[in-house]
Structure 1
Amino acid sequence: MMGDSSSGSTSWSSQRDTQDDRMIALMLSEEYTNLDGAVARRLSNLAPVPHVPRINSYIPNLNDATLDHQRLLQRLNVYGLCELKVSGDGNCQFRALSDQLYRSSEYHKQVRGEVVKQLKDNRTMYESYVPMKYKRYYKKMAKLGEWGDHITLQSAADRFAAKICLLTSFRDTCFIEIMPRDQAPKRELWLSFWSEVHYNSLYDNRAVPVQQKPKRKHWLF
């Protein structure tokens, strides 16, 4: 009986914590939904390339990566944009999305969890893009430090009803637009993409916010 009581208490505590996580994320999301659109105005003349979800398959060598980074920096300068840099710890895509959603990169675990839930609950939407056992793929993506790819970006667009816009370092593809499927976008998220290496959060260089400390309780994350 003592074991059953302890187990029930732990389960209830876990459910409460999850509900608190989601409530805090919802409040922050609503607080930052109304953006000024400065980045969108800067890139309004660019024609986006259609997005094709895919896994990470090619990591550039040092020379190619250096040239790609120079190209990205030049594009940022041309369009008057600035990166708010996030940690390169394997979670950068989710950190950049977290910053755009909640003005803090520290909610990356919450974002990753929502993206993986979208993948898990909507297998038919993404399975054809995954060249491995699908369950293995989304379980791999659930691990902290696992690099996000273009499938997780599509999942994020669908989960958060967001148009995700990438300013990239690709030689022939400057701007990629990822639209949510089956619904109109309710927000825009802007990321820079140093191709296959790193994501950062993107802003107009006159309006880069100061990253806030996450508004969280001691048990979160």
Structure 2
Amino acid sequence: MSEQQDHVSKSSSSSISTSTQESEEEVSVTIGSLLAQARNDKGHSLGRRLLHLGSVPHHPRVNGEIPNVDNATLDHERLLERLGTYGLAEFQIEGDGNCQFRALADQIFCNPEYHKQVRKAVMKQLKEFRKRYEGYVPMEYKVYLKKMKRSGEWGDHLTLQAAADRFGAKICLLTSFRDTCLIEIVPRDLTPTRELWLSFWCEVHYNSLYATDDLLTRKTKKKHWLF
């Protein structure tokens, strides 16, 4: 094969690979939308349980300081008490540094193993709309993106905002903060078409949130189901 032919072949293969990756992303988002829509009534049901609490405006930010053991323990006890009070339960998410993305994947795809696809979609949002987000990052934006791209890097409140924007979802956080029980993260310039519910043990861990009865009947979709 000539160098010219080889170049054309490689270029064609690269184009096909890129097209395939983009198609997979589009399929994952589309099917995720269908799954989320199917359980959206349940999301609104959770919202009705907590309606009287109100919520605070969300301000995107990077992660804060991890609390010491004593404070973290008190925070967790507070979160568990709130879960019990409102008849909610956590689907436990693996604590491997990907918990925010795993919890979002569970809410969107009914399978936390799709966390890589969720992180990829969030990163694409952060890159494409840089001017929208870079003012919240207290470091060089390229450095932040490079760090956040890595598997195992903890998601923050900026990635939650980007996820809300990317998936057209209102993300509801039941938190362990002393003075802030519920935080709602709404997409910018979009009317949310779904609700995603997470519990947030502040600065420590995210889990996927359900009504207690719904968690008992929850079934995980097989990972190969999307593609």
Task: Map Cα deviations across residues 146-203 of structure 1 (whole Å, 9 max, x no partner).
Answer: 1000111111111111111100001111111111111111111110000000001101
Unaligned 5+ residue runs, structure 2?
none
- State TM-score, norm by structure 2: 0.90
Unaligned 5+ residue runs, structure 1?
none
One of 91, 110, 122 as aligned partner of 1:84: 91
Which residue number in structure 2 is paired with residue 159 of structure 1? 166
Q: How does 1:51-90 map to 2 (within 5 A)?
A: 51-90=58-97
Provide the C-alpha distance between the structure 1 equivalents of 2:25 and 2:164, rounded to a whole number of angstroms. Answer: 20
Which residue number in structure 1 is paired with residue 33 of structure 2? 29
Q: State the shift of 1:49 in Å.
A: 1.1
| Residue 11 of structure 2 corresponds to residue 12 of structure 1 | no
2:29–2:167: 8 Å Cα contact kept in structure 1?
no
Which residue number in structure 1 is paired with residue 110 of structure 2? 103
Which residue number in structure 1 is paired with residue 206 of structure 2? 199
Which residue number in structure 2 is paired with residue 148 of structure 1? 155
SS at match of 1:83: strand
Q: State the shift of 1:65 in Å.
A: 0.9
Provide the C-alpha distance between the structure 2 equivalents of 1:104 and 1:176, rounded to a whole number of angstroms. Answer: 23
CA RMSD of aligned residues (A): 1.6
One of 127, 133, 145 as aligned partner of 1:120: 127
SS at match of 2:66: coil
SS at match of 2:165: helix
Provide the C-alpha distance between the structure 2 equivalents of 1:156 and 1:142, rounded to a whole number of angstroms. Answer: 14
Task: Map Cα deviations across residues 105-150 of structure 1 (whole Å, 9 max, x no partner).
Answer: 1111111111111111111111111100011112211111110001
Q: State the shift of 1:7 in Å.
A: 5.0
Provide the C-alpha distance between the structure 1 equivalents of 2:184 and 2:64, rounded to a whole number of angstroms. Answer: 20
Provide the C-alpha distance between the structure 2 equivalents of 1:158 and 1:28, rounded to a whole number of angstroms. Answer: 15
| Residue 190 of structure 2 corresponds to residue 210 of structure 1 | no
Which residue number in structure 2 is paired with residue 178 of structure 1? 185
More deviation in 56-65 or 21-30? 21-30
Question: In proportion to residue count, which structure has more helix?
Answer: 2
Task: Map Cα deviations across residues 27-77 of structure 1 (whole Å, 9 max, x no partner).
Answer: 232133132222112111111011111111210111111111111000000
Provide the C-alpha distance between the structure 2 equivalents of 1:11 and 1:75, rounded to a whole number of angstroms. Answer: 51
2:36–2:194: 8 Å Cα contact kept in structure 1?
no
Matched residue pairs, number? 217
Which residue number in structure 2 is paired with residue 138 of structure 1? 145
**Percent of aligned pairs sharing the same letter:** 56
Provide the C-alpha distance between the structure 2 equivalents of 1:95 and 1:213, rounded to a whole number of angstroms. Answer: 15
- State TM-score, norm by structure 1: 0.92
SS at match of 1:207: helix
